[in-house]
A = this chain, B = another copy of it.
């Protein structure tokens, strides 16, 4: 085999996004032991920065040593036991994935479905909560990466509290690109991924659990079905106030990258970063409309960092993506599920939420569509 040569791409799809050079440089720092005092301090710093970016004081806030899908699974397998009732909102791919997780926990989901591209309607969720009674968990996706729709997490979490159930929120695509306010929402469990608006390499999934969620985990009647994701064990490995108990070997270099990416976010400031994402989005939408293209999602449910754009009739959508990649080195995403062939998904995440990157993409797109 020859040595690795990776081309430069501009990643303007649904993620991963481009990783800033200083994060790549951090990845390449020398590996040290996962029990080294220097690494222990790094773990504490990461937890602290995760809390700051999730706007939470939750002590159980840490990075799961695996991609966002494992973070999702960590939330479900820790909170659910066989027979538990769940109300689940589905308005895209990631809601469907949640269903897979719920079923594999032996829990009993009531699914409330929405058209793809629509946000979750709190009224229909409230009906389901009311009808079911004794629901353990309400689960929904804050920012549906497959459609570009944002749902009202604050309102949905408030409903969960009102009906005395836990709330579980997918913030993979929203975190660090728009407000994710875990404590203000009073969300009980959230998970995210590193390769979206944080702008780091993919592979790590930050999670945060409220005190109420931790109580539920500790009160389980059955063991968590995953050893690797069992928060009873993982929290002992990440704890600060008592000696750490070895669980698994942490992905040391990836956590260097996570540290640096979090540092960059906090250095920029959360609100500045959210504003930058929404400004880039406004520019993009304006430019797309000037090209005669239409957005899938209506206002005010449009996500700033994930823009689903309708493919005009008669256009070969795959060819457009291929030409963008081959001629311009720009990656954009295809539609998934019922939206396959019908939309492109344009991501503005991390460093790519900038006027310059938006202009570059719009010029390239104009040329390809000519």
Chain A contact residues, CB within 8 Å of chain B: 1, 3-9, 11, 13, 15-19, 22, 24-34, 36, 38, 42, 45, 49, 65-70, 72-73, 77, 97, 100-101, 103-104, 193, 195, 201-203, 223-228, 246-254, 256-257, 259-260, 262-263, 266, 325, 331, 336
Contact = CB atoms under 8 A, between A and B. Distances in A.
A36 B49 contact: no
Nearest to A31: B19
Nearest to A254: B203
7 contacts: A1-B262, A4-B29, A9-B32, A67-B248, A69-B247, A201-B254, A203-B251
> How many copies of the chain does the oligomer comprise?
2
A77 B263 CA distance: 37
Contacts of A225: 104, 225-226
A252 B201 contact: yes
Given A3-B260, A19-B31, A104 B224 contact: yes
A33 B6 contact: no
A193 B32 CA distance: 16
Contacts of A33: 9, 11, 13, 16, 331
Contact of A100 (B25, B227, B266): B227
A129 to B, nearest CB: 25
Contact of A36 (B3, B97, B331): B331
Given A31-B202, A202-B252, 17 more contacts: A4-B26, A4-B259, A6-B29, A6-B38, A7-B32, A16-B249, A24-B30, A32-B331, A65-B66, A67-B249, A68-B249, A69-B228, A73-B227, A202-B249, A203-B251, A203-B254, A254-B254
